[in-house]
Structures are given as C-alpha cells and as structure tokens.
Structure 1
C-alpha cells in the first residue's frame, strides 16, 4: 500500500542512526513493529493482579508427564 507521509527529518535521521536501517521504508516498518510490540506489552500490565493462581499446581510434575 503506497502512502505519502511528511516525516520529521530530524526524527528520521535519528531513526536511521539508531536502527541501522538504510531506507525510509525499513526504518518506518521497524518503528511500527516496535511500537506495536511495546503497546501489546503494556496491555499485559493490565492483567497484573487479575489472575487467580492455583497454589496446588505442581509445574515440575507437569513437566515429567509424557
């Protein structure tokens, strides 16, 4: 999908320097992937304290099942 964007040249230069990417497309693609991954990680924080743990679960015993 072709898209025209007016990108801040200073931000783009920093992205090139930090990422090592050689093209605008590669730098923007990497930035979008990292942005998405970061937001998904932040979403996991919403789960903290909401899960119920089974204290009787023996993960070591489950490993040896098979």
Structure 2
C-alpha cells in the first residue's frame, strides 16, 4: 500500500546512517515493527502487580518443590 508521508529529511538521513537499510521503505517498515514490539512490551509491563495471590502463597516454597 502506497502512503505518502511527510518525514523530516534529517531524521531519515540519521536513521539511514545508523542502520544498513538501503531504502527508506525498509527503514520505515523496521521502525514500525520496533514501535509495535515496544508498545506490546509496555502493555505487558502494565500487568505487573495486578495479579492477586492468596495470602498463604509462598513462592519460596514453590521454588523448592521443583
């Protein structure tokens, strides 16, 4: 799908210099993939501390059983 984008030329040149992508299309695709991965990781981090354990749950004891 062709999508016209207005991207700062200096940003494009800096990004191209940092990686070995030969085309701007490849660079933008990689940037989008990395953006998506980061956002998914951030959503997982939001889950930390949201799981309620029983009061008698002993993770140290659980580790010794394996």
TM-score bracket for this pair, using the shorter chain length: 0.7 to 0.9
Structure 2: state its 5+ residue gaps: none
| TM-score, with length taken from structure 2 | 0.75
RMSD: 2.0
Secondary structure of the residue aligned to 2:47 is coil
The runs of 4+ residues in structure 1 deviating greater than 2 Å are 51-58
* 1:52 Cα deviation after fit: 4.1
The gaps in structure 1 that reach 5 residues or longer are 62-66
Instruction: Count residues in correspondence.
Output: 61
**TM-score scaled to structure 1, two decimals?**
0.75
The answer as to 2:19 corresponding to 1:19 is yes
Residue aligned with 1:21, SS: coil
